[in-house]
Chain A
Amino acid sequence: MTYITKPKLHHPSLVKNQVGYTRRDYEGAISTLCAGCGHDSITAAIVSACFELDIEPHKVAKLSGIGCSSKTPTYFLGNSHGFNTVHGRMPSVLTGANLANRELIYMGVSGDGDSASIGIGQFAHSMRRGVNMVYIVENNGVYGLTKGQFSATADKGSKSKRGAVNTDDCIDLVMMALQLGATFVARSFSGDKAQLVPIIKAAILHRGAAFLDVISPCVAFNNHEGSTKSYDFVRDHNDAVNRIDFIEPRAEITTDYAAGSLQEVRQHDGKVLRLRKLSEDYDPTDRIGAMNYLLQRQAAGEVVTGVLYLDQDSQDLHGSLNTVGKSFNRLTEAELIPGSAALEKINATLR
């Protein structure tokens, strides 16, 4: 097998978005993952989000680690540069790429093995640095690509396909992201497109480290009875705290909402996120409150989803480093090299 491309025969009736692209222009090569794999649904959600946000595909850089999840950047945005790096190290490569050119949108795709085990250090540090990116963990609780070993996000007591029980406590990347200072934290489910697509859109629009934990069942190794990352389990235990209805500048309210059920969150660029509350007293702008809520609900065996935390005045790494507006990769000799006269002066101080 070599390379599979989709025939690029554009149907004339395919609608174009505001930047002149059809949905097909946001797709990539045909997926080689197992039929029914949650990761493919996330790929589709990314395609929809970018199409609907009118993003020019080549303005996105896709980076990933290693794993089935990390393969997916091949399957979306075929006209974007992509980089399949090494296992667990996507965050550092993305950080460097982001430093080099601040004008692109950075999409980092990882798996639970990639981010919660081998790459937990890089995950943590990219959060605390506030790298401007969308960091998606396609979380299936197993190592898909190496054939079904438990990952560090597998819940204690959950069963492997062969019946082994996981005795280790699980790492909750959402809690870690909250604790480490991520400025946008959400959890969703690959099987809930209506919730997932707007969350990805909001994450793209967010300035700073946006972390998405998307539960994404592995049909080959972790979709059985006794797994807490199966389609059935997540559907039965999904505690969605809110849904994003709109992300628009000065959006008009056209739907009727029950009093107190609506929360509008202004973003740094003036765009407004309108959240429909599903849980009465959940406030996604309260980091500590969010952590408390998560701990409580998770203790009760629920999977909390939605926009869990959002900092309206977020900063990013470029802000902390006080870098120039022009991307580093376009700076010229005149802007970078101090010249011989300056060097002479330095020489003079060294005698």
Chain B
Amino acid sequence: MLAFSYVVAPHAETALSLVCGGSNATFIAGGTDILQLLQEGVIAPPSLIDINALPFSGVQTEQGEARIGALTRLSDVADDPGIRQRFPLLVQALQETASPQVRNMATVGGNLLQRTRCLYFRDATVPCNKRQPGSGCPAWDGLNRINAIFGGSDRCIAANPGDMAVALLALDADLLVQNVEGERRMRLADLYRMPDENPQHETTLASGELITAVLLPSNEAAGHSYYLKVRDRASFEWALVSVAAALEMDGTRVHRARIVAGGVGTKPWRLMRVEEALQGRPLTPDLARQAGNRAGDGAAPRAGNAFKVPMLQRAVERALLTAGGIA
């Protein structure tokens, strides 16, 4: 680990002024991803700005829109009675995230901004366009079992590894973001960028912007929802494939569906073809199978991760059956 300086920011203004303007200083919240990246020499920021003293923790779920402060620990969100009652999909995704120890430390904001698990990104001794722009993408023809089947190119096929963002997208969440000019509200769907020409730019946040909260609309679909995570072992592992299914039902008919997949895209991946296949139809085992088959539309797998296509199709089918209560 290279040397860095450290300071606790007492106010958001201090944090913002220390990180803006190309200083390369980095916010640290729970530290659970930053510490891994520092230990492995993947990042070497000159300065860490600790944001834990800022007033952005806590959950409000009374009525209408729910608000989750960006510094709330994942375990506190998952154990919150209001969240458990109103957003079981989010609780499931969080309970299947990392380990109890990590969940006690990790924050909501940090979780949304965790970096990819691509083996080449996490190994500072090999090329990687994300880590060292222009150096190449060894994953394209290399060990790409955990990499993305959607949204990649020969420049980068790193998968977004998160679970919570997948559930939050299915619940149509927004974010509150603060910068030196003030606060703005944005859709979570607009946070992540496609790798395209510049895989090093992963989000639409400007340097020095702070996420302060996640906002969740009252959600008709929350009651018919399911998070299915498929991984190499039963617990404490990132997803090979995950599916968040949120169904707004009108009797037995699907009024509206939001289906999002994790582990398969360069960002959390909304499965529009699946949603269209469900729209307005009575949910039956046959429909779940047909809609599941559409989950592979547009996939561009590589040699090592082609198994993710049928795995995703069947995971969607199973998530739909479970969410709809007909499994």
Q: Tell whether A pairs with B.
A: no
Which chain B residues have a beta carbon within 8 Å of chain A's beta carbons? none
Which chain A residues have a beta carbon within 8 Å of chain B's beta carbons? none
